[in-house]
Amino acid sequence: MFDLFDNTLFNFIVYSGLTLLFLGEAYYKLGIFKPSEEQKNQSFLERWRKASWNTRGLFFTGHLFLIVAVMSLLDVVGLVPID
């Protein structure tokens, strides 16, 4: 069972899913891809200042998961071996 958690492909799948969940919700709340009518006239900095701590936490945690997912992908492909 513990060998499953040493598998970098498993880590890549898990952290990619977490990245999509966390960043997806944060980007939705911040209006990155499809801003609401209220957000269209605001810059990202204004939206960030009005964002809740939950949204900010999702944003930063999602980017941390993205780093782990990319490193796992590089290990799966064989470009960067991680011991």
Q: What is the pLDDT of residues 18-59, one digit of tens each?
A: 999 999 999 999 999 888 888 889 999 999 999 999 999 999
Phi-psi group of 31: left, alpha or beta (phi > 0 → left; psi -120 to 50 → alpha; rest → beta): left
Structural domain contains residue 83:
no
Structural domain contains residue 36:
yes
* The residue type at 50: K
pLDDT of residue 5: 57
- Structure-token pair, residue 58: 């999702």
What's the structural domain count of the chain?
Answer: 1
Find tokens 């269209």 and name the residue.
40
Higher pLDDT, 6 or 79: 79
- Structure-token pair, residue 30: 């911040």
Structural domain contains residue 12:
yes
Q: Does this model's pTM top 0.95?
A: no
Structural domain contains residue 2:
no
R_g over Cα of the chain: 16
Host domain of residue 20 = 7-77
